[in-house]
Amino acid sequence: MGKACTNVTRKVLDVRRKAFLFCGLYAALVFGGQHFMKERPKLQLRRPLVLWSLSLAIFSMIGAVRTGWYMMYILSTSGFRQSVCDQSFYNGPVSKFWAYAFVLSKAPELGDTVFIVLRKQRLIFLHWYHHITVLLYSWYSYKDLVAGGGWFMTMNYSVHALMYSYYAVRAAGYRVPRPFAMVITTFQIAQMAMGLTVNRLVYRWMQEGNCHSYLNNIVWSSLMYLSYLVLFSSFFYQTYLKGNSGKSSKTD
């Protein structure tokens, strides 16, 4: 028993070390890449960007359907509270795969920034901060099977399905009505507000002993979601309400 616990602990630590390694390499490549491209002409990469965004859009759509269907099942059979505290997302016959795929996908999603750097587009703080913190939190939390994960995954899959579809269409050269981008950012803001709500409920119900989580996880998750809420709200204001209509930007 003691040996098994030791092995599990080692695996958890190994995953968490890899999370920091990925993020460290990502930061080095991003800012090193910007320096490298400074005196070089930008690359177009239109076709690779279309394929990249389209593949992530399809992946997110399937993930949203699979986790969303399971979420609806729990809501209809067990109610909202159980949907928040439920841990079966991590080990259900179908949701188990999509929960694991969700966590792993945070590494390849870092590739979004490669296109920004090579095409010499404006790289905003929100973009790289969001990528790093989501990867760290997802990889840290997955092994702990914390409550609220079902909501976090379903919301993220759903928003990314819209977001990457938008990127694919834009990369293909089609003009997308401005309100569509505004809707995506609005959904992202709503996602962050809901994330804070779920964390608050997890903390409340954890005190009653039937909602598995850890105080430090709730604190870090809440700080993360709060920072996203502020940053995405500021992004919305600066991009859509302050008259910066001429600027093109990414919503994630």
* Angle made by CA atoms 188, 190, 194, in degrees to the nearest 5: 115
R_g (Cα) of the chain, nearest Å: 19
pLDDT band at 210 (very low <50, low <70, confident <90, very high): confident
pLDDT of residue 244: 53
Whose tokens are 């598995």? That residue is 212
pLDDT of residue 44: 87
Q: Which of 104, 26, 98 is nearest to 65 (CA)?
A: 98
* pLDDT tens track for 92-135: 888 999 999 999 999 999 999 999 999 999 999 999 999 999 99
* Angle made by CA atoms 169, 172, 178, in degrees to the nearest 5: 40
Amino acid at residue number 105: S
Mapped onto helix, strand or coil, the DSSP state of residue 65 is helix
Spatial contact of 139 and 15, defined as CB atoms under 8 Å apart: yes
Amino acid at residue number 59: F
pLDDT band at 13 (very low <50, low <70, confident <90, very high): low
pLDDT of residue 6: 46
Average pLDDT, the chain: 89
Active-site residue set:
130
pLDDT band at 18 (very low <50, low <70, confident <90, very high): confident
pLDDT of residue 19: 83
DSSP string, 7-41: HHHHHHHHHHHHHHHHHHHHHHHHHHHHHHHTTSP
Asked whether the predicted pLDDT for residue 249 surpasses 50, the reply is: no
Q: Which residues of 153-175 are buried (b: 16+ CB within 10 A; e: fewer)?
A: bbbbbbbbbbbbbbbbbbbeeee
- Give the C-alpha separation, 183 to 57, whole Å: 17
Q: What is the largest CA-CA distance in the chain?
A: 63
State mean pLDDT over 190-216: 95
DSSP state of 237: I
Asked whether the predicted pLDDT for residue 191 surpasses 70, the reply is: yes
- Cβ neighbours of residue 142 under 8 Å, at least 6 residues apart? 15, 90, 99, 100, 103, 149
* pLDDT tens track for 35-69: 999 989 999 899 999 999 999 999 999 999 999 99
DSSP string, 135-197: HHHHHHHHTTT-TTHHHHHHHHHHHHHHHHHHHHHHHTT----HHHHHHHHHHHHHHHHHHHH
State mean pLDDT over 72-90: 94
State mean pLDDT over 79-88: 94
pLDDT of residue 15: 66
Is the model more confident about 223 or about 9?
223
State mean pLDDT over 212-225: 96
